[in-house]
Amino acid sequence: ESDMTSLQEIQDFLGLKRFAFVGVSRQPKDFSRMLFREFLARGYQAVPVNPDAGEIDGQPCFARLQEIEPPVEGVLFMTAPAVTDTLVRDCPGAGIKHVWMYRAGGVGAGTADAISFCESNGMGVVPGECPFMFLPGGAWYHRFHGLVKKIAGSYPQ
């Protein structure tokens, strides 16, 4: 898998104007909510999927991917790897063609099994990046990321 393929898939995903967002937190200060609101502010229709919430930031919430009406073609997972592994199996039946498995630091949402499941079912997959890094003009995120690295002492000297 070359970087070019990933970049093309990133562009394809960001070209969708409407997609499911799995793992958006009910906590307003959670990072997932910041990303969710950023997509909304940029004119995307991010459709929250959370079995424990009726709505998030005014967007109606769906319990499962298959219940989204009208259906979506893409899904962003900000979930624990085991959750991604399970829920990715709902994607083909839900008409999903593009899967993004979020990762900024740490383990991220993806697993090798989930990635190969997507590939073998003909779905494009972004296996572990943060969308903020690819949204045009997302400079504040880079500054924030650099600050975190400085605080953590891992900033390149």
Confidence of residue 21 (pLDDT cuts 50, 70, 90): very high
Whole-prediction pTM:
0.82
What local confidence, expressed as pLDDT, does residue 116 receive? 94
Q: What is the per-residue pLDDT for 150?
A: 56
Asked whether 43 and 59 are in contact (CB, 8 A), the reply is no
pLDDT tens readout for residues 66-86: 999 999 999 999 999 999 999
By residue count, the chain amounts to 157
Give the pLDDT of residue 48. 95
Helices (H) and strands (E) in the chain, counts: 5, 7
**Per residue in 110-135, pLDDT tens?**
889 999 999 999 999 998 888 877 77
Q: Taking the CA of residue 138 as centre, how many other CA atoms within 13 Å lie in the half-sphere pointing to its CB?
A: 17
Surface-to-core class of residue 37, CB atoms within 10 Å of its CB (0-12 exposed, 13-18 middle, 19+ buried): middle
